[in-house]
Amino acid sequence: MALTLGAARPILWKYQAQVAYESAQNSDIQAFDATLNRLTETLLSGNKFKSCYRRVTLSTYGNKLTLPRNLSTCLGVNSICPDGGWSGFPLQIYSRWYNFAAQGPGLTSDCAWACSIRGLIPISDSAQTFADPDADSTFYLRVKSTKGNGRGMTFIGGLDENEAIIEGNVKLEVVNGTSTTTQKYTEMPFIEKAVTPAYVEIYSVDTTTAVETLLCVYAPSETVPAYKRYSIPAACDGNTFACLCKLAYVPAIQDTDLIVPSIIDALAKGLQSIQFADRNDAERAGLYMGPNYPGDGDSAVRVGVMKGCVDILDSDLAEDEQAEIPAFQMSRDYACGSIPQLEWGWGGGGWNGY
């Protein structure tokens, strides 16, 4: 089931807080929320539990695919471009070094070799927008919101209309409506944002045509936007892709924010582990966090070992893994497992050499 922060507090309160839930002050609630977020960040970092995956449909801007803030990386991608061609086929996900390999596509997207690369190449872990302004244009930056907060956006660096580095910071207040920089840009600056009471849209506005282009929509709690971005050399603007992605850690702030993972018993054990860790009791902290592998190995030795937080989450994933056929399975000692290289074809041409 999905568990929200508001629903989690009364259930999990006793595993972390030092006062009764009914008499909790704002400072107590903030302390509990911070500890629960600390736990979920730990669980999402480096682990692949059942609830850590999402299947989503994303679109390209140009030939770039940028993941939303709640997704950390693509694990599988399938093209669903409506114009046919290479639609419907899974895509390779290359190493971030592939652009720089001797036989790689380089950093361009307009050569025949690059356009033949039907896969994803990671190019950034810190992209700050989903779309980019026209590379040949001079533009202003504009923000829109439905609520003001007295502070707003800080734009650091970038290039001005003469392609010179902008030395000072440019500040733009977020208001109920629209606000636009007087500074002109030819290259995007680094963006910092204050916590806002509502979502904030950011646009580039062409200084000649006044045409505005939506670059991104920032969540209220975002302060330093940073998104994973891929290049798909063979893709066009607006192509769509079905993606299997791993979730990124996003702190739960509002009562309606989801807690991931949402297994109550696992979260309870994890909160207890943090309490022991804060008391420098490493042994019991490790016991409650796990993995303890109960039931594995010599049963006479393992009997009585409790399931820690990680063991519970692993068990949840194992239910699916037992029923699913692996995508590819080959013994090292038989058939293709013992052939260093393999070439096949369909007779008189086509697919030969793959």
Q: What is the per-residue pLDDT for 133?
A: 93
Specify the length of the chain in residues.
Answer: 354
- Predicted confidence band of residue 68 (pLDDT cuts 50, 70, 90): very high
Give the pLDDT of residue 56. Answer: 94
Per-residue model confidence (pLDDT) at position 334: 53
pLDDT at position 29, please?
94
Q: Is the confidence at residue 354, as pLDDT, over 50?
A: no
Whether residue 179 contacts residue 152, with contact meaning beta carbons closer than 8 Å, is answered with yes
The pLDDT of residue 302 is 53
Exposure string for 252-290, b = 16+ CB within 10 A, e = fewer: beeeebbbbbbbbebbbbbbbbbbbeeeeeeeebebbbb
Tokens read off for 32: 């509990």
Closest CA to 201 of 187, 182, 180, 186: 180
Per-residue pLDDT tens digits for 8-28: 999 999 998 889 999 999 999
Q: Tell me, what's the pLDDT at 353?
A: 45
Q: Does the structure show a pLDDT above 90 at 332?
A: no
Does residue 314 carry a pLDDT above 50? Answer: yes
- Computed on alpha carbons and rounded to an integer, the radius of gyration of the chain in Å comes to 25
Choose the weakest-confidence range: 10-19, 65-74, 335-344: 335-344
pLDDT class of 97 with cuts at 50, 70, 90: confident
Q: So what's the pLDDT on residue 323?
A: 63
Residues 250-301 have pLDDT tens digits of 999 989 999 999 999 999 999 999 999 999 999 999 999 988 887 655 544 5
Return the structure tokens found at 295.
């039931």
Look at residue 34 and tell me whether its pLDDT is greater than 90. Answer: yes
Q: In the predicted model, what is the mean pLDDT of the chain?
A: 85
Identify the CA nearest to 309 among candidates 33, 49, 37: 49
Q: What percent of the chain has pLDDT over 70?
A: 80
pLDDT tens per residue, range 232-247: 888 888 889 999 999 9
| pLDDT score recorded for residue 47 | 79
Cα angle 73-214-201, degrees, rounded to a multiple of 5: 85
Extended beta strands in 9-94, E state: 53-59, 64-66, 71-79, 90-93
pLDDT digits (tens, 9 = 90+) for 191-232: 999 999 999 999 999 999 999 999 999 999 899 999 999 998
Distance CA 181, CA 141 (A): 6
Residues contacting 154, CB < 8 A, separation 6+: 169, 170, 171, 172, 191, 192, 193
Residue % of the chain over a pLDDT of 90: 59
Map tokens 């282009």 to a residue: 213
**pLDDT tens digits for range 98-143:** 878 777 676 665 555 566 677 899 999 999 999 999 888 999 999 9
- pLDDT at residue 277 in the model: 95
